[in-house]
């Protein structure tokens, strides 16, 4: 018997399959199945964020399995919660799925969502969402978290602070380069990715692109240590550091030891933070200094960075089509 497709099931049947994968992970007062979830919120300060992954600009089915996509969709949202200094507590997931999609792909996607929560943010669970049909596979996730103290915003960096990062910088962009260079046809169309033809180092970089593992727990650690500003590095260190510097009205001078992949690559979802000089916690490493605002928001070794410093979907999507 052939594998069932999404079009072979009604909405209720497909949701039952998804809930079966997620069952047991919820600590909500009211979980999936009602019109909305009901969550207990300690301290009554809720952090909320949302992100959308669309087939084409954000992922390619030729390269990503259902579990890859679920893990990535969770990770990119968990990182935004962590970057506020909060602890993730729940995800709400909206899926727009082509009706010819194998049902097992959707189940694997749910499995990836749950695995990312279990591994990166224990105690966080998928508490509901929405399901519809579309020609383009789209995953929209809303992440919720709670604060134990004040939120860490982008706007608090001060002259004399150190610039630090937790997590990797560079592997995900190297992985994307490998995918575009090695697994596309002559017409630019993505071809099925075959891990066995990659070296161990190349495979590690590709996994970093398809399944990012940001240091979620270190967000609240940074907040307790006294981080003055923080954000996740999703679009490239230079671009995101510029956003933080502009919000804080300072210049970030980054280390000249950082290579181009670390400076311009994105999607590792490392945590970029600033701390008073004696407050950097374990798990972070120093990569620069906060200086008084100068002519440039970001310098590298005291020199303005030349060129574009990251990914802008409105500027870069045409170049990545295929």
Is 268 one of the annotated binding-site residues? no
Beta sheet of 138-146, edge-to-edge order = 46-54, 138-146, 87-97, 125-133
What is d(CA 190, CA 208) in angstroms, rounded to the nearest whole number?
18
Is 261 assigned to a binding site? Answer: no
Q: Left (φ > 0), alpha (ψ -120 to 50) or beta: where does 14 sit?
A: alpha
Is residue 80 a known part of a binding site?
yes
Which has the higher per-residue pLDDT, 317 or 18? Answer: 18
Q: Which of these, 321, 308, 320, lies nearest to 260 by C-alpha position?
A: 308
pLDDT score for 314: 40
* Token representation of residue 226: 């006294």
SS3 133: strand
205 marked as part of a ligand binding site? no
As a whole number, mean pLDDT of residues 302-309 equals: 80
In this prediction, residues 70-96 reach a mean pLDDT of: 96
Q: Which of 31-35, 100-104, 130-134, 269-273 has the lowest mean pLDDT?
A: 31-35
51 is in an annotated binding site: yes
Residue 317 annotated as binding site: no
Across the range 56-85, mean pLDDT stands at: 95
Residues 6+ apart with CB under 8 A from 93: 73, 113, 126, 128, 129, 139, 140, 141, 142
Say if residue 181 carries a ligand binding annotation: no
pLDDT of residue 158: 97
**pLDDT surpasses 80 at 52:** yes
Query: Residue 34: pLDDT above 90?
Result: no
Residue 318's pLDDT is 46
Q: Give the residue ranges of DSSP H helices in the chain.
A: 11-22, 66-82, 103-120, 171-182, 200-210, 217-225, 237-248, 260-264, 313-320
pLDDT tens digit sequence for 138-176: 999 999 999 888 899 999 999 999 999 999 999 999 999
Residue 50 labeled ligand binder: yes
Section 251-275 average pLDDT: 95
Domain boundaries, the chain: 6-146, 154-170+214-310
* Residue the block writes with tokens 């170049």: 319
86: helix, strand or coil? coil
Q: Is the pTM of this model over 0.95?
A: no
Residue 170's contacts (CB-CB under 8 Å, 6 or more residues apart) are: 259, 261, 262, 265, 268
Tokens (6 digits) for 118: 């279990």
Does residue 177 carry a pLDDT above 50?
Answer: yes
**Is 128 assigned to a binding site?**
no
Percent of the chain with pLDDT over 90: 70
Taking the C-alpha atoms of residue 116 and residue 108, their distance in angstroms, rounded to an integer, is 12
Residue 130 annotated as lining a ligand binding site = yes
Q: Is 294 annotated as a binding residue?
A: no
**In terms of DSSP bridges, do strands 285-292 and 162-166 run parallel, antiparallel, or are they unpaired?**
antiparallel
Q: Is 154 annotated as a binding residue?
A: yes
CA distance 93 to 37: 12
Q: What is the CA radius of gyration of the chain?
A: 20
Residue 76 pLDDT exceeds 60: yes
Average pLDDT over residues 193-222: 95
pLDDT at 220 over 90: yes
| Homologous superfamily of domain range 6-146 | PurM-like, N-terminal domain (3.30.1330.10)
Beta strands at 229-233 and 270-275: parallel, antiparallel or unpaired: antiparallel
Structure letter (DSSP) for residue 59: B
Confirm or deny that 267 is annotated as ligand binding: yes
Q: DSSP secondary-structure letter at 23?
A: T
Quick one: fold of 154-170+214-310? Phosphoribosyl-aminoimidazole Synthetase; Chain A, domain 2 (3.90.650)
88-144: pLDDT as tens digits:
999 999 999 999 999 999 999 999 999 999 999 999 999 989 999 999 999 999 999
Spatial distance between the Cα atoms of 247 and 257, rounded to a whole number of angstroms: 25
- The two beta strands, 125-133 and 87-97, are parallel
Q: Which residues of 250-280 are buried (b: 16+ CB within 10 A; e: fewer)?
A: bbbbbeeebeebbbbbbbbbbbbbbbeeebb
Residues 294 and 312: their CA atoms lie apart, in Å, by 24
278 is in an annotated binding site: no
Among residues 67, 68, 88, 69, which one has the least CA distance to residue 77?
Answer: 88
């Amino acid at each position: 018997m052939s594998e069932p497709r999404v079009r072979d099931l009604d909405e209720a049947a497909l949701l039952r399959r998804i809930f079966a994968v997620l069952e047991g992970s919820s600590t909500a007062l009211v979980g999936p199945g009602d019109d909305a979830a009901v969550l207990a919120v300690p301290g009554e300060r809720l952090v909320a964020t949302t992100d959308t992954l669309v087939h084409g600009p954000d992922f390619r089915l030729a390269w990503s399995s259902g579990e890859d996509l679920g893990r990535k969709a969770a990770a990119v949202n968990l990182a935004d919660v962590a970057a506020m200094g909060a602890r993730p507590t729940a995800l709400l997931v909206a899926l727009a799925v082509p009706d010819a999609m194998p049902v097992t792909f959707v189940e694997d996607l749910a499995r990836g969502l749950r695995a990312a929560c279990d591994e990166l943010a224990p105690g966080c669970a998928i508490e509901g969402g929405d399901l519809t049909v579309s020609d383009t596979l789209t995953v929209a996730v809303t992440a919720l978290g709670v604060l134990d103290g004040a939120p860490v915003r982008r706007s608090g960096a001060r002259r004399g602070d150190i610039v630090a990062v937790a997590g990797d910088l560079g592997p995900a962009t190297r992985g994307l380069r490998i995918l575009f260079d090695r697994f596309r046809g002559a017409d630019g169309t993505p071809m099925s990715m075959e891990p066995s033809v990659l070296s161990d180092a190349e495979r590690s970089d590709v996994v970093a692109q398809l399944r990012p593992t940001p240091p979620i727990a270190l967000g609240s650690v940074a907040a307790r240590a006294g981080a003055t500003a923080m954000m996740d590095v999703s679009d490239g260190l230079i671009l995101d550091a510029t956003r933080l510097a502009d919000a804080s009205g300072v210049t970030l001078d980054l280390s000249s030891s950082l290579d181009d992949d670390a400076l311009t690559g994105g999607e590792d979802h490392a945590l970029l933070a600033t701390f008073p000089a004696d407050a950097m916690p374990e798990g972070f490493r120093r990569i620069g200094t906060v200086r008084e605002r100068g002519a440039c928001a970001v310098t590298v070794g005291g020199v303005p960075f030349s060129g574009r410093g990251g990914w802008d979907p409105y500027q870069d999507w045409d170049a990545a089509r295929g």
